[in-house]
Amino acid sequence: MAVPTTTLSHRRISSYSLVASTAALLLVFHHHVPSTTAQPLPWQLCNDTSGNFTDKSAYQANINQLATALTNNASSSPSLFAAGAAGSAPDVAYALALCRGDTNASSCARCVAASFKTAQQLCAFKRGATLYDDPCILRYADWDFLTNTTDNRGLYIAWSYDNVSAAVAPAFDAASARLVNATSDYAATDPVRRFGTGEEPFDDAKYPKIYSLAQCTPDMTVADCRACLGGVYRRFAPTYFGGKHGGRVFGVRCSLRFETYHFFSGNPLLQIPGPPGAPPPAAPAVNMTPPATGQGGGGHKNRTRLVLAIALPLAAATAILALAVACLYYRSRRRTTAQRDSSGKPCSPSPDDIDKSIDSLLFDLPALRAATNNFAESNKLGEGGFGAVYKGILSEGQQVAVKRLSLGSTQGLTELKTELVLVARLQHKNLVRLIGVCLEEDEKLLVYEYMPNRSLDTILFDSQKSKELDWWKRLEIVSGVARGLQYLHEESQLKIVHRDLKPSNVLLDSAYTPKISDFGLAKLFHMDQSQGMGALELRNNPRAAGPIPDEPPSSSRPDGEACQHRATMRSGQPCRQAADVVCKRYAQQRHHLTTGPVKANILHSGDGRPFAPLLRCV
> DSSP string covering 25-38, please?
EEEEEPPPPPGGGP
Sheet holding 387-393, edge to edge: 380-383, 387-393, 399-405, 445-449, 434-438
Query: Measured between alpha carbons, how far is 303 from 287 in angstroms, rounded to an integer?
Result: 10
* Phi, psi (deg, nearest 5) at residue 563: -50, 120
pLDDT in tens, 345-375: 334 444 444 444 555 667 888 889 999 999 9
| Cβ atoms 418, 346 nearer than 8 A | no
Give the pLDDT score at 390.
Answer: 93
Largest CA distance in the chain: 114
- Binding positions: 403
Output the known binding site for ATP: 403
Beta-strand relationship, 207-216 and 254-259: antiparallel
pLDDT at 28 over 90: no
| Residue 377 neighbours by CB distance under 10 Å | 8
Which tens digits make up the pLDDT trace of 582-610?
554 334 434 444 444 555 455 444 455 55
Confidence (pLDDT) at 429: 82
- Calpha distance 482→223 (Å, rounded): 31
Active-site residue among 500, 528, 550, 580?
Answer: 500
The per-residue pLDDT for range 143-179, each reduced to its tens digit, is: 999 999 998 888 999 999 899 999 999 999 999 999 9
Q: Are strands 514-516 and 25-29 parallel, antiparallel or unpaired?
A: unpaired
Confidence at 241, pLDDT banded by 50, 70, 90: very high
Does 500 qualify as catalytic in the annotation?
yes
Q: How many CB atoms lie within 10 A of CB 537?
A: 16
